Amino acid sequence: MSTQSKIPFDTKELKRYNRHFLLPQVGIAGQAKLKAARVLCVGAGGLGSPLLLYLAAAGIGTLGIVEDDIVDDSNLQRQILYSTNEVQQKKILAATARLQQLNPYITIETHDIRLSAANALTIISQYDMVADGTDNYVTRYLINDACFHLKKPHIYAGIFQFEGQCSIFNAPGGPCYRCLYDAPPPSEVMPNCAEGGVLGVLPGLLGTIQATEVIKLILGIGTPLIGRLLTVNSLDMQFREFTIHVHSQCSLCTYQQAFDLLPHHDVASCSAVDESDQEITVNQLQAIRANHTDFILLDVRDAYEYDIANIGGYLIPLAELINRLHELDKNKLIIVHCKSGTRSRQAVKLLQHAGFLQVKNLQGGIIAWAKQLDPRLAVY
């Protein structure tokens, strides 16, 4: 058998990966490792876009994608996998088409589902490692816990506004995510990009770092971010690094807690208010208005959001609420809303703590109002 016949690439692939072949740390043997690798990407949004594009371009043989969302206009500021023509399409279909156009020599495996405690072990077990492109703590802990029990590396990145971080968890001898943060913070006090905003180029920066770490792990080269948390502030372009040790009280690394016994929750249930009587729907709000009930509709968004679209609420941005409570009447029903319901839930808790007894949160916020009652209202 000739040497040429042992090379797992055809002529076009040899040309495509030429720049990798020139690197002594990669070469044909390293590129063959990339081709044999199976990498799961959870989330095909801001982080997932550059991550998937660069992994596909690098020749990762099999890319799995977990994603159940659709493309929205608001995604296009940072999610470079998609174009205006794909708005309202399933992300997983648009992403697959784009990645196959970029590299027809790789295989894309799609999971059009939200990762949950019921399916995480089954899905993740099919891959060598997981790249985490999610934007919520529930899924992040779920990925970490499943990777720990399946002995799969978890390549993590997180972004918010102008800052991001990246690390590798569950690698041999390294810490897990619970060594860094043993338990997730309350969901109502941790806004995501939809609530707090994000600089459009930031996920490109962090997603590219993630892709670099995935490739290094597969090739076994360099010094991966195992036991190291890399942080970046894009405003001053300062990179910092912190050491993460295996925590002596970690529920996984130390106490080996079973996956089924760890606290897992669905994202939807985690984002909901515990007490149902604190919630009110847009239809119920409309009925209250029609009955001319005496109440206060409190809008806790920022002023620029109010200028884009409003439903006539009294504007007190959440950040100012604690200092402006005197403007509200404790004897009246107060219905609080924001863009989607996250900030308004925080406001409800703050008001209740301050002694306001008649407080309701508008489910889905102004987005729900626009979608269900007034499609003319600008959705941003």
Together in a domain, 305 and 230: no
pLDDT of residue 273: 37
pLDDT in tens, 102-158: 999 999 999 999 999 999 999 999 999 999 999 888 899 999 999 999 999 999 999
Residue 380 lies in a domain: no
Cα–Cα distance, 55 to 374 (Å, whole number): 42
Catalytic residue among 166, 176, 193, 253: 193
218 with 82, same domain: the answer is yes
Instruction: Give the per-residue pLDDT at 380.
Output: 86
Same domain, yes or no: 246 and 313: no
Find out whether 169 and 181 touch, Cβ atoms under 8 Å: no
Length of the chain: 380
For residue 226, give the DSSP letter. Answer: B
d(CA 377, CA 369): 8
Is 272's pLDDT higher than 80? no
In a domain, 1, yes or no: no
- Whether 177 and 315 map to the same domain: the answer is no
61 and 186 together in one domain: yes
165 and 261 share one domain: yes
Q: Within this chain, do residues 67 and 194 fall inside the same structural domain, yes or no?
A: yes
**Confidence (pTM):** 0.73
The answer to whether the CB of 213 falls within 8 A of the CB of 224 is yes
By CB neighbour count within 10 A (0-12 exposed, 13-18 middle, 19+ buried), where does 90 fall? middle
Number of folded domains that form the chain: 2
185 pLDDT above the threshold of 90: no
Reported as a single tens digit per residue, the pLDDT across 42-94 is 999 999 999 999 999 999 999 999 999 999 999 999 999 999 999 999 999 99
Structure tokens at 263: 């606290």
- Residue 5 inside a domain? The answer is no
Strands 359-362, 314-315: parallel, antiparallel or unpaired by DSSP? unpaired
**Domain end point (choices 219, 240, 270):** 270
CATH of the domain at 232: 3.40.50.720
Could you say which of 237, 270, 303 is where a domain stops?
270
225 and 285 housed in the same domain:
no
The mean per-residue pLDDT over the stretch 4-20 comes to: 89
Q: Is residue 3 part of a domain?
A: no
Domain extent for 130: 10-270
Note whether 247 and 338 are same-domain residues: no
Residues 253 and 129 in one domain: yes
Taking 70 as the threshold, does the pLDDT of residue 266 lie above it?
A: no
Q: What is the CATH number of the domain that holds 363?
A: 3.40.250.10
Co-location of 294 and 265 in the same domain: no
- The Cα–Cα gap between 54 and 41 comes to 12
Catalytic: which of 147, 166, 176, 338? 338
Instruction: Please confirm, yes or no, whether 338 is among the known catalytic residues.
Output: yes
State mean pLDDT over 297-305: 95
Task: Verify that 106 and 167 share a domain, yes or no.
Answer: yes
Residue 378 lies in a domain: no
193 catalytic per annotation: yes
Task: Answer for the pair 165, 158: CB distance below 8 angstroms, yes or no.
Answer: yes
Residue 359 and residue 278 in contact, taking contact as beta carbons nearer than 8 Å: yes
31 part of a folded domain: yes
Residue 304 belongs to a domain: yes
Last residue of a domain, one of 235, 250, 270: 270
* 4 lies in some domain: no
